[in-house]
Chain A
């Protein structure tokens, strides 16, 4: 039983019997924010995954640093109750995806700095990784998102659909096409 469920049960238990049903519903609906311990533990588990995802979506490690902070702040502020750890993680990835998309849109409108010409991160040394970074950068943003979530994160089609905001039925064919494209760019 997770902490959110326990806190929800505690709130419900503390409600006096005379409380109106509407008030009970409002208390349940009010977003409960994570405490420090839960937040830090969740951050430790997920921050590196989200950072890697953001680096490959944006092609910019410094931007990924900024978006990572913003993603965790928005996740904390949302303070929603989650059924499970994977649901909570998917929610964080959805926020990160939207932040990267917003940034991409601003870039296309020309109100922000252009994409760095050299998309590899300074610490990259492997030729394969450089090739992959460049190949991913040539894909459409949605294709990058789906490929990364499927093959790096190991997310199911339903989870990917939840994160990128599409129907799960469409994920299979989109993933197939994205994979074909990436294989073509990698010269596989």
Chain B
């Protein structure tokens, strides 16, 4: 049964990182199952990492930067289009309300005059006209 802690653990890991084991540590490892196991596992993993890193077929940093920027720009463009579509839909809805109320439509069945409600769509329309370009500006300039 291995014990969980050994005071030499940090030294073993340092030896793996520097690829050098001094005589004292070597003697300890020979008598400590935990450190022997740690040395075996950590060396295998560290060696594997070194080889993998040497073989890594990674793209150049210039190519990676270009791809990243292209994707970021494309995402910003899509977000701007989404915002613009939303603004358009809102404007159309407001225009319809104004058209309906503006021509003096009443609801005969319940005898409601819709003209006093005209102020709400007018304010809504004004708000859209002011806020829509601001929203589009902030979305597009995000990137």
Question: What residues of chain A have their CB less than 8 Å away from a CB belonging to chain B?
Answer: 33, 36, 39-41, 43-44, 47-49, 51-52, 55-56, 61, 65, 68-69, 72-73, 76-77, 121, 123, 126, 128-129, 132-133, 147-148, 150-154, 172-173, 176, 179-180, 182-183, 186, 188
**Residue in B44, B52, B59, B62 with the greatest tally of chain A CB atoms within 10 Å:** B52
Judge whether B109 is part of the interface by a CB distance below 8 angstroms.
no
User: In the assembled complex, which residues on chain A have CB atoms less than 8 Å from the CB atom of B96?
Assistant: none
Expressed in whole angstroms, the Cα–Cα distance for A180 and B36 within the complex equals 12
- Chain B, Cβ-Cβ closest to A172: B4
Number of B residues contacting the other chain (C-beta, 8 Å)? 34
Instruction: Return the chain A residue nearest B16 by Cβ.
Output: A151
Interface contact tally, CB-CB below 8 A? 103
Q: Could you tell me the dominant secondary structure of chain B's interface residues?
A: helix
Q: A186: which of B2, B16, B41, B72 is its contact (CB, 8 Å)?
A: B41
CA distance A52 to B47 in the complex (A): 11
Q: Using an 8 Å CB-CB cutoff, how does the interface string of B37-51 with A read, 1 for contact, 0 for none?
A: 110111011111101
12 example contacts (A-B, Cβ-Cβ < 8 A) are as follows: A43-B61, A47-B58, A48-B52, A48-B56, A52-B49, A61-B57, A65-B58, A73-B68, A77-B75, A147-B45, A151-B42, A186-B44
